[in-house]
Chain A
Amino acid sequence: MLTEKIESEKESELIKLSEALQGACRKKLGRSLAIREVDAGSCNGCELEIHALNNPFYDIERFGIRFVASPRHADLLLVTGPVTKNMSEALKRTYDCTPIPKWVVAVGDCAAGCGVFKQSYAVMSGGVSDIVPVDLWIYGCPPSPIDLLRGLILLLER
């Protein structure tokens, strides 16, 4: 079903990104990158697109990138949402549980600066970086799977 000939521009871009990611992953990580996704109060839109990374089109696992169940198994935290005050402690604790070396990637406009929820009494004022140090921001509302892949490559090539 998916082994059809690639015609669209989007698909060829995906191939280019895949190759870049493949190379970067192997160089930096050997065989694997373990991601713990943390929803710090998102609207769930960002999660839907992160999910899409696992679908057969993007199939991120083929590069050795896996989503893991525990922060203790993770190299990278992928954090979404404006960080609600009710989630701030859970985010901090998740970060503390993640072994060093670790990266934090803030996904979505909310994570970067609270998006439309800015100025609410119930969210942190500056997004994820108010609670944990952020290595990379991926903007978008929500960022598409391609944006997410590009972000991960940037991080790995750094």
Chain B
Amino acid sequence: MKKLELSPHSTEEAVEIEAGKRKKCWSLEKVSKERWIELSKEVASGKWTLFGLWGSPRKVNMVLLDESQSKLQVIELETPLGKFPSVAIEVPSAARLERTIYDLFGLIPEGSFDNRPWLDHGKWQLRFPLGNILPPEEQKPYPFFLSEGENLHQIPVGPVHAGIIEPGHFRFTMGGEIVVRMEERLGYTHKGIEKLFFEASIEGGAEIAARISGDATVAYSYAYALAVEEAIGITPPPRAVWLRALMAEMERMANHFGDIGAICNDAAFPRILSRCAVLREKILRFSKDFFGHRLMMGRIVPGGLTVDLSKEGKEKLYLLLKEIREELCSIKYFYDSKNSLQDRTVGTGILNARSAKLFGAGGFIGRASGRNFDARKCFAYPPYDKLSFESPLLEAGDVNARVWIRILEIEQSSFLIEQILNNLPFGNTLSVMKEPKVSGQGLAVVESFRGDILLWIEIEKGKIIRCHPRDPSWFQWPLLEKVIVGAIVADFPLCNKSFNCSYSGHDL
């Protein structure tokens, strides 16, 4: 990997750089049923990548990504009869999204092969909470897809797991020590977030967005702010534009350190965990000292930032970056030189390039399996259009590759932060919303540590009438089911940690 040339630190003077307005990266197309089906087929043939699919009370929307053109097409289909043609029959990654659309809105994906509920576990005391609300049905057991045969047995795991992690259920079918099938059942952390958005003000929406997934709180607040700003036509001050990216990169580093440590710990190598945990804690303490919150929750809002980085903070951050880089060198050395560790990670949980592409797997999962997609590059939202960095790419698709992508990304993030510090524009960090009663639609894509977050918002006279956040995990969770087949069950924790999909961000 090419190292970036760094300019000498200039803690005193900041360079004047124009902030750059975010370019609109999407267009909306209202389509007929026939066109909807045709587009599904085009996705299946590889012309597009399915990037999002959600319902509203009287319509469904689908977002298609054209990676080569850095363009997003938002497709809209009215559903006067409460039905739409299933996308999943052509595109498997749509299946869970369609089941969700049915659970929340009661819209029926016609022709779908999987009609089981997904987020609705029969406990809400109502059905279709965001559509035409109906009384609950009698609760039925959830039918797993099971493999049956002589000598096969099942291991049910969760929703309460053995570690300090989020709740979900995994159903393993085993042939001796080998996993024959694994099926996930999620939805345990469903908090009704999309409905809460329906009733929220723009400020209230920011509070909810920050709590969609606690580990990606910066990225979600960032996406929410960008989408709202697009919808109501405001531009944040240049300094805020740059500091947002700084916060996002700090969040990325902190989470990657957490993950690298946890993966190594699961391979019985706690030494790396300790070292990573120390660096993570130092980033969090810095965030508390200079941004007022350890996870930087609620610091990015529509219009800018609620905080600023002081001169002292800037100097401290240079020092912290130096320490991180030095430590990372020795972590790399340790990771690379321990055979017992490599033995567990190399060749484990391989995700092939084809599946990664088919599902549009984002973040380190896609980039460890040869899918060269990074929202910071593809959409170059400011200030990333002014920053130089690389998006590391590997082909092996195993646990080891996912660890390496994280290591390399920390390196890149540290260079990015340094560039931001060197070039940080002066000025305030929050513009006031002059005309809060306007209407409009906004869409934002932000690269969280885990991959691309999509956030769609519709605002009418200053009120949110629809907000749909799509976590990268939607397209990553199903792939975890795939990579574990044929492995021994003891490799599951490694595969799971190396994926680190979000439960809360997915369940909403």
Contact = CB atoms under 8 A, between A and B. Distances in A.
Contacts of A123: 191-192
Given A47-B214, A51-B258, A39 B165 contact: yes
Contacts of B294: 49, 144
B211 A69 contact: no
A71 B190 CA distance: 23
A12 interface: no
Interface stretch (A24-32, A85-93, A130-138): A85-93
Nearest to A1: B278
Contacts, number: 140
Interface in A69-97: 69-71, 81-82, 84-90, 94
B278 A56 contact: yes
Given A55-B278, A90-B159, A121-B195, A41 B295 contact: no
Interface stretch (A15-23, A112-120, A149-157): A112-120
Q: Which of B119, B121, B189 neighbours the largest number of chain A CB atoms within 10 Å of its CB?
A: B189
Nearest to A57: B281
Contacts of A88: 123
B266 interface: no
Interface in B206-241: 207-208, 211-215, 217
A95 to B, nearest CB: 11
B214 A117 contact: no
B188 interface: yes
B56 interface: no
Contacts of A51: 164, 258
Contacts of A81: 189
Contact of B502 (A2, A41, A44, A89): A44
B192 A39 contact: no
A46 interface: yes
B317 interface: no
B164 A67 contact: yes
A115 to B, nearest CB: 7
B504 A44 contact: yes
A100 interface: no
Contact of A121 (B126, B211, B277, B280): B126
A43 B212 contact: yes
B187 interface: yes
Interface residues of B, number: 48
Contacts of B167: 39-41, 87, 90
Contacts of A1: 275, 278
Interface in B178-209: 187-193, 195-196, 207-208
Contacts of B195: 120-122
B336 interface: no
Contact of B213 (A44, A82, A120): A44
B277 A56 contact: yes
Contacts of A39: 160, 164-167, 189
A42 interface: yes
A99 interface: no
B316 interface: no
A85 B160 contact: no
A57 B191 contact: no
Contacts of B281: 52, 55, 57
B278 A121 contact: no
Contact of A116 (B123, B159, B211, B288): B211
A46 B124 contact: no
B36 interface: no
A81 B507 CA distance: 13
B462 to A, nearest CB: 20
B277 A144 contact: no
Contacts of B190: 41, 84, 86, 122
Contacts of B277: 52, 54-56
Interface in B243-289: 258, 274-275, 277-278, 280-281, 284-285, 288
Given A44-B503, A144-B294, A82 B191 contact: yes
A104 interface: no
Contacts of A94: 160
Given A1-B278, A56-B278, A43 B214 contact: yes
A38 interface: yes
A58 B274 CA distance: 12
A142 B124 contact: no
B313 interface: no
B270 to A, nearest CB: 10
A60 B288 CA distance: 21
Contacts of A116: 196, 207-208, 211
Nearest to B126: A121
Contacts of A121: 124-126, 129, 192, 195
A3 B326 CA distance: 18
Nearest to A89: B123
A123 B123 CA distance: 10
Q: Which of B163, B191, B297 neighbours the largest number of chain A CB atoms within 10 Å of its CB?
A: B191
Interface of A: 1-2, 10, 37-52, 54-57, 67, 69-71, 81-82, 84-90, 94, 115-117, 119-123, 141-142, 144
28 contacts: A10-B285, A39-B165, A41-B167, A44-B502, A44-B504, A45-B217, A46-B214, A52-B277, A52-B281, A54-B277, A55-B278, A56-B274, A71-B160, A81-B189, A86-B119, A86-B123, A87-B167, A87-B188, A87-B189, A90-B188, A116-B196, A117-B196, A119-B196, A121-B124, A121-B126, A123-B191, A123-B192, A142-B214
Given A87-B189, A90-B160, 16 more contacts: A2-B278, A10-B285, A40-B167, A41-B188, A43-B217, A44-B502, A46-B214, A67-B164, A70-B162, A86-B188, A115-B211, A116-B211, A117-B196, A121-B126, A121-B195, A144-B294
CB-based closest 3 A-B pairs = A45-B214, A120-B192, A122-B192
